[in-house]
Chains A and B, each alone.
Chain A
Amino acid sequence: MSARDRILAKLRAAQPAQPNALPDPAEHYATRARNESKADRLARFRTGIEGFHAEVHVSTAADWPDLLASLCAQKQIGTLMYGADTPAGARLHATGFGATALRPWQGEFEQLKADLFHTVDAGFTQTRGAIAETGSLIVWASAAAPRTLSLVPPIHFALLDANHIHPTFFDALRAENWAAGLPTNALLISGPSKTADIQQTLAYGAHGPKELVVIVINAEGDAQ
């Protein structure tokens, strides 16, 4: 018998004849649901993620590329890498970016690894949505959003559409039926990387980005 069969046999011998009733988390969340406007949800998301040391800027569908360019200038980003072939990526034009070199992700990770670790100053990804309750971004790995872009460069710029902010994590995975098809890597990000491992003192930029900058696309006119 293999280890697998032995372990399963031991468990089976002791397994209750009837499993417990299937718990339904929906009840817990339903009683705590808020009747929130989009603006309230955005505000709650913002308070949450800013509490985790992220920077949030609200823009519009038309203006965000300019905002990104000016933030890059402000932060003196030498090279910005982004997922190629994405609608957001297609909106970025080198002309607007001045001193910042734009580099679309081309090819496989292995060819880019050294650059990602040593020369790219910032990564830009498009998020799938966010969670208001905890101030978390939802990022799904794809050709358009390689996972290392939000991890290896010292600064991570994330683009978020305010229409895709869910009240809670539970709401997000139910509403979008995540269980029906997850990517190889789904990720929640709440702030830049941090640690409190030395004498409970909080320090940012432990291994991942030292800065997380969120650009929120809100409906035209809602910019603040």
Chain B
Amino acid sequence: MNGQTHTTAGQPIAIVSAQALRERMHAAVNDPHLRQSFRGAMDFLMAKRLAQFPDESELVSLRSLSEAIRQYSLSKLPDLLEQLEANLTRNGVKVHWAETPEEANAIMLGIAQAHRARLIVKGKSMVSEEIEFNHAMEAAGVGALESDMGEYIVQLAGEKPSHIIMPAIHQTKQQIAKLFAEKIPGVDYTDNVDALIQIGRRVLREKFEVADIGLSGVNFAVAETGTLCLVENEGNGRMCTTVPKVHIAITGIEKVVEKLEHVAPLYSILTRSATGQAVSTYFNLISGPRRSDDRDGPEEVHLVLLDNGRSQAYADEQLRKTLQCIRCGACMNHCPVYTRIGGHAYGTTYPGPIGKIVSPHMMGLEQTHLLPTASSLCGACGEVCPVKIPIPELLIRLRGEANSAPHAHPAMVGQGAAYDPKISLLWRIWARVYGHPAAYRAFSWLATRFRALTPRKQGGWTVARTPLQPAPRRLRDMLKERP
């Protein structure tokens, strides 16, 4: 597998060749422990979400409103980004723009070097995973420490998050207990969850106190006020954005909304869809560095706005809907494929249904064309999505983009990556036969007469099923004989 060892852990991104993806999925499906822990966790999250929406009409109304807000924001995206930049700048925040992960990392490394930073403490940020921020910093000699408990565990284990909301969901408490005992000096094995959390708290507090820079993601960026909103439970996000002298936030360009009041419904549906909580413990609205009448808070705040394929999605009216996402994770919690294979098998930063529709924009279809096929199209993801992204429709579109003949003005990088002229020819013949009654009659007549010639082995189909064979007699013939 491209020289990477295959475990369910430690998956570097951007290596998901089609073959690799098949192997990873196969391995994951055959790991009973993994399947059990994901099954349990997803059942739990689905039940909790359901309990948060006892009033169906409220859910219907809130979903439509949230969808409308996201679509409205996207319809004005370039204007809102400029307004956001202007208001953040007025508030004293420095705004940076990056088209690629490399540019984003270079900007943040520049800030780190300007402050001679040795340690960056990080709140949860999937965008920083997307750009492999930790590796980029470590390569330059700057430490980057995850401080969200789940992310900390995953980093300690040398892994990647397996879920966008619950990064360490694939690990049992016994595994975490072993990990802590092995990796943290002076810690004995305990699988008491409270004790484990207190160990994490102690280690991380020492780091919050001495870190030079805090890094965070952004859940919503408000254009009219120049405000960055952060949703979290643990307080590590507040630590990262309050205690160090410098706070760097990073976000995709799609996260902006125009009005502050638009945040209220989105926040409400986000936490309820994600973990079934009415609200998170903390909702942080950051509008600038410390002012003269403040007693604490960072002296410098930066925002990095990252494109990384998002403007490509934006260019196509249908694909643009991908950008409505508020990263709640509900689609993965309800996905039968995700529940069986877990988040690592996908090999991409964003797993599950949302990963299958955003990763192709970030990495191109060349590498990701198999992802949209890893779906039963049962529709559960689209049904739970709080902002009504038609995920199944987008999966079909992406399959089409990958499988159609390459052409001059593709909507996506890597268009036609899965195109196979032989299969395409076969389908064209099929379409002709089925589209012309005379041809169809002749074909079905031949098929029934020569049914004995159908092969016993029919590729993937016969791995677990009996071979397909035409019936001895056609329906039309049987009907003709009826009195």
Contact = CB atoms under 8 A, between A and B. Distances in A.
Interface of A: 2-4, 6-8, 10-16, 18-23, 25, 28, 31-32, 48, 52, 83, 105, 108-109, 113-114, 117, 133-136, 141-143, 146-148, 151-152, 168-170, 173-174, 178-179, 182-201, 203, 205-209
Contacts of B261: 25, 170, 173-174, 179
A48 B91 CA distance: 34
Contact of A198 (B176, B258, B265, B289): B176
B307 A7 contact: yes
B259 A190 contact: no
Contacts of A201: 173, 193
14 contacts: A7-B253, A10-B307, A19-B72, A48-B278, A143-B293, A182-B287, A183-B287, A185-B297, A186-B287, A191-B281, A207-B147, A207-B234, A207-B238, A208-B239
A60 to B, nearest CB: 28
Nearest to B45: A200
A143 B225 contact: no
Interface in B225-242: 225, 227, 233-236, 238-239, 242
Given A10-B314, A11-B77, A147-B238, A168 B281 contact: no
Interface in B60-102: 61-62, 65, 68-69, 71-72, 75-79, 81-82, 91, 97-99
Given A7-B99, A15-B78, A141-B297, A25 B264 contact: yes
Contact of B71 (A20, A108, A133): A20
Interface stretch (B16-24, B128-136, B201-209, B433-441): B201-209
Interface stretch (B164-172, B396-404, B445-453): B164-172
Interface string B100-116: 00010000000000000
A190 B232 CA distance: 11
A100 to B, nearest CB: 22
B44 A200 contact: yes
Interface centre among B150, B278, B285 (most CB of A within 10 A): B285
Contacts of A179: 224-225, 259-261
A130 B91 CA distance: 26
Contact of B234 (A2, A48, A190, A195): A195
Given A20-B71, A192-B281, A206-B236, A3 B259 contact: no
B181 interface: no
A88 to B, nearest CB: 16
B234 A206 contact: yes
Given A191-B281, A200-B44, A207-B239, A14 B103 contact: no
Nearest to B72: A20
A197 B316 CA distance: 37
A203 B58 contact: no
A13 B267 CA distance: 30
B262 A25 contact: yes
A11 B314 CA distance: 7
Given A179-B225, A208-B238, 8 more contacts: A19-B79, A135-B278, A151-B238, A179-B260, A188-B279, A191-B281, A198-B176, A207-B204
Contact of B77 (A15, A194, A209): A15
B481 interface: no
Given A3-B103, A151-B238, A207-B236, A184 B279 contact: no
A218 to B, nearest CB: 23
A23 B61 CA distance: 12
A7 B75 contact: no
Contact of B41 (A134, A173, A189, A200): A200
A3 B279 contact: no
A61 to B, nearest CB: 26
Interface residues of B, number: 95
A157 to B, nearest CB: 16
Contacts of B76: 15, 19
A8 to B, nearest CB: 5
B56 interface: no
A73 to B, nearest CB: 25
A1 to B, nearest CB: 10
A211 B82 CA distance: 41
B98 A184 contact: no
B46 to A, nearest CB: 12
B275 A196 contact: yes
A83 B471 CA distance: 85
A20 B285 contact: no
A92 B434 CA distance: 87
A147 B201 contact: no
Contacts of A25: 65, 69, 261-262, 264-265
Contacts of B171: 198-199
B296 interface: yes
B345 interface: no
A127 to B, nearest CB: 14
A109 B201 contact: no
A205 B398 CA distance: 44
B283 A199 contact: no
A188 B75 contact: no
A170 B234 CA distance: 24
Contact of B97 (A7, A22, A113): A7
Given A197-B168, A203-B193, A136 B294 contact: no
Contacts of B225: 178-179, 182
A5 B186 CA distance: 52
B282 A188 contact: yes
Given A197-B153, A198-B173, A108 B286 contact: no
A195 B233 contact: yes
Contacts of A14: 311, 314-316, 320
Nearest to A51: B278
B239 A146 contact: no
Contact of A185 (B233, B284, B315): B284
Contacts of A13: 315
B197 A205 contact: yes
Contact of A11 (B267, B294, B311): B311
Nearest to A141: B294
B37 to A, nearest CB: 8
Contacts of A11: 77-78, 81, 253, 311, 314
Contacts of A197: 148-150, 153, 166-168, 234
